[in-house]
A and B are shown apart, each in its own frame.
Chain A
Amino acid sequence: MAYTTSQPQPGGFLSRLGFGGKARSRKTAVAAEEMKRVQFTSPVLPYLFLFPQLAVIFIFFYWPSVQAVSSSFYLEDPFGFGSTFVGLSNYTDVIFSSEYQSIALFTAVFTVLVTFLSLSLGLLLAVKADRVIRGASTYKTLLIAIYAIAAPVSGLIGMMIFDQHVGPFVKMMSYFGWHMQVGLNYYDTAFAMTVVAVWKQIPYNFIFFLSGLQNVPVSVREAAMIDCRSGMRRFWTVILPLLAPTAFFLLTINVTYALFDTFGIIDVMVKDKPANNPVTLVYKVYADGFRGNDIGGSSAQSVILMIVVFVLTIFQFRFIERRVHYN
């Protein structure tokens, strides 16, 4: 099936960039590619060219990452006088704390909701945008315009829309007897956060689904048209399977988005009062380490999140394997 090669390929965390050009990198995740036949040889030069990048990576990536792992096994003295090795107790403390468990549960629910809603709305809009001819480019512009707005800015806008005094959504809902109190009521805040997170992510999914749809060859569409009169069935049996690689790629991207990139939204919307508000695991890492000064516990949480990221990455690579196998 030659045309499957034109589907977007899973691109790992390259795409965490938050902007469009990520597409170029999507196939770089497949590392084993042919080398250039002609190359320079030099004993020093390549290292010279690599040095700045490697230096920055070692100082600001490997060193902190190793420290995160090592300090997760230590208990830091609150006054900064040394630290004691405590083995896995930071981990057990974290995992068995009921607060952590409830935050983990919220993170899971939040991630599933955000991923599902932003994927399905993105797909719905892409399918419709793929059909219309009149006004197509206007719709496209409007639907991707907010694509690169930063998370804290969307959080701020969301807060205004859901503000108790001036928020239009809150006023509207009060006619239906729902008196929203974002920032005070746990579920109301969770609702507002989810809406904002979904809002911000729809354009991303829209762009990828639309390009996936436009890569479905006309011949396939016409053949499907002849075989099957029902538009709905055509979509489910022909178009959607062809979009599956795009959808899987977007699935991991959206999960990482909901887990990590929503930090700005959450931080702005809880307004420094996380006490009775829903927060995600990343926010907790930040709050415990930075505010609570619990370095060991925060590091243990970091390591747990690292493991989550690794699992996601493995999931993604396995998926690439399967795709390569298909071709």
Chain B
Amino acid sequence: MYRTKFSDHLVLILGSLFLCMPVVVAFMTSTHTAADIHMNGLSLAWGDNFIATYEKVLTQKGGFTGDITGARMVMNSLILGVGFAIGKILLSMMAAYAIVYFRFPMATLSFWVIFTTLLLPLEVRIMPSYQVMSDLGLLNTYSGLIVPLLASATGTFYFRQFFKSVPEELLEAARIDGAGPFKFFIDILVPISRTMIAAIFIIMFVYGWNQYLWPMMMTTDESFFTLMRGIKSILQVWVGSNIPDYNEAFALAVLAMLPPVAIVVIFQSWFIKGLTESDK
């Protein structure tokens, strides 16, 4: 068999460094003071300002109106992530249930109507989407942040695929026992989809947490700012200041990337397996 060479490890070590160093540097630098960073540059060593910086970022009121704290932004990001994930699961499970388990004339048409949404990313219909939202009076609301993002088919497809793999005998048996559509859905299908629901929840949470363009357009009221939106505004303050708050910007970045990185690292075996076994 193949014998591992030193160069293989060298490439992997360099690759890992290239990918991970920026994140480590971001974290380490965030523990120094702004003046320290300004003088000595980014740092790889632990500073002594960790608690002060993060406390300031999380609790100090800032922004133009002076009533938005980092903690508030974390909460808004959580609301967006969790709300989006729950909404997505509810809508897409129901839609997939109708498409897979019912025989009705519009089934194929509905499928394609939903499927088409995969073709156009939000980025190419920004302006009209914004206008629709302002017509509906949904700017600066949580529903305005969350609901429009639900207009895509991803979740529906995951569940459709999963429902198709559920053995037919289950429905046959349930029907013999006299279960109707609601009972079958709630008492049988939802419980056996638990793992799938958990998986989709995590994926959708990160997707919602990471949203940038949509919150940026939808929210002008700072009390609705998410972390991603906060990054944008910290940069705007930055331009033109003498000693930029590097440490605070980095702390904000660390807060914003903590959940995605933690989830990927913790669930990595789960989703790599998902990748490799999905076609079997």
Contacts and interface: CB of A to CB of B under 8 A. Distances in A.
A63 B132 contact: yes
B121 A309 contact: yes
Interface string A22-53: 11111110010100111111110111111011
Interface in A123-162: 124-125, 128-129, 131-135, 139-153, 156-161
| Chain A interface, >50% SS class | helix
A168 B90 CA distance: 47
Interface string B4-36: 100011011001101110110110010000000
Given A50-B94, A149-B261, A309-B124, A166 B250 contact: no
Contact of B212 (A133, A152, A203, A256): A152
Given A17-B154, A68-B125, A211 B275 contact: yes
Contact of A38 (B19, B25, B127, B171): B171
A13 B121 contact: yes
Contact of B103 (A39, A48, A129, A299): A39
Interface stretch (B53-61, B64-72, B203-211): B203-211
Given A6-B280, A39-B102, A161 B161 contact: no
B142 interface: no
A282 interface: yes
Contact of A128 (B12, B156, B213): B12
Nearest to B279: A6
B239 interface: yes
Interface in A81-138: 121, 124-125, 128-129, 131-135
Given A13-B118, A142-B19, A148-B260, A71 B128 contact: yes
B127 A295 contact: yes
Interface string B151-162: 111101110111
Interface residues of B, number: 118
B143 to A, nearest CB: 11
A305 interface: yes
B271 A36 contact: no
A67 B140 CA distance: 22
Contacts of A19: 202-203, 206-207, 271
17 contacts: A24-B199, A25-B158, A26-B278, A36-B164, A39-B103, A42-B181, A60-B151, A64-B128, A67-B128, A124-B15, A131-B4, A135-B9, A142-B19, A156-B252, A211-B272, A211-B276, A309-B120
- For the complex of A and B, the 5 pairs showing the least CB-CB separation, nearest first, are A20-B271, A148-B260, A150-B210, A49-B98, A289-B127
